[in-house]
Amino acid sequence: MGESERSSAPARKERRLSWLTVGEAAAVLAVVIAALSYWDAHRQHAVSESQVQSQARAEAAFVMVGSVDAKGREIALRALQPSEAIQSQRLVFPTAVLDHPVDIYAARPRIAADWIAPGLGRVLDRGHAKGDGEGRLPVAVVTTYVEGGETHTDRSEYAVGYAWRSRFLLGRQITLQGISLVRRGLNGDPRVAVDRRWARGGATPAPR
């Protein structure tokens, strides 16, 4: 073998190794791209599935609505969905208004003005409320209900709208206006939650 042949042999070997390295790198890159594409498709599918599940949970979530009687003395409560049957409820108001929960086991869920009027009257007196006004009272509601033969529990916070009228010699009259959902999935002690909400602004009702 001549000198030139001996010198060219390592060069050819180096080129072959170089081409093998490039080929291997290309193969690895293709595998990485395929894995990334699979992961991205799987992630998009998981996100879509999560969104569908979240929407289904939102549609199936318990929501309570109320109807006020003509005199504003009571709010009759019922489940928004006819398929949900309320079995019992525990209502927790701010401590400054009512220092104990109200448990309803009868077939007529409700909120009565008589439960909260004395406490609200004291709050209004401390705030030197005059004339007419209105406010919102937070209430935590723990509801046991049946749907499709299964028993469920919902823990949510609502706001009760109320109004007051001050009349000479007749004192102050407090009436209920309605109820609205504030948030679902109430965690922890419901009294702590409503006391915190009340302290953030509910304790100072606005005059009209």
- Tell me the per-residue pLDDT of 35-86, one tens digit each, with 9 for 90 and over: 777 777 667 655 556 554 444 444 458 999 999 999 999 999 999 999 999 9
Q: Which residues make beta-bridge pairs with 83?
A: none
Question: In this model, does residue 111 exceed pLDDT 50?
Answer: yes
The more confidently predicted of residues 130 and 153 is 153
**Closest-CA residue to 88 (of 98, 68, 102):** 102
Q: Where does the pLDDT of residue 131 fall: very low under 50, low under 70, confident under 90, or very high at 90 and above?
A: confident
Domain boundaries, the chain: 1-60, 62-207
Please name the helix (run of DSSP H) or strand (run of DSSP E) that holds residue 154, with its range, or none: strand 150-167
Which residues are within 8 A (CB) of 123 and not within 5 positions of it... i.e. 6 or more apart?
Answer: 96, 97, 203, 205
Place of tokens 């609505």: 65
Tell me the CA distances in angstroms from 41 to 33, 34, 52, 183, 191, one per residue in order.
12, 11, 17, 34, 45
Structure tokens at 185: 């999935």
Distance CA 155, CA 10 (A): 78
Tell me the pLDDT tens digit for each residue of 2-40: 555 555 555 555 555 455 566 666 677 777 777 777 777
Tell me the pLDDT tens digit for each residue of 145-198: 999 999 999 999 999 999 998 876 667 899 999 999 999 999 999 999 999 999
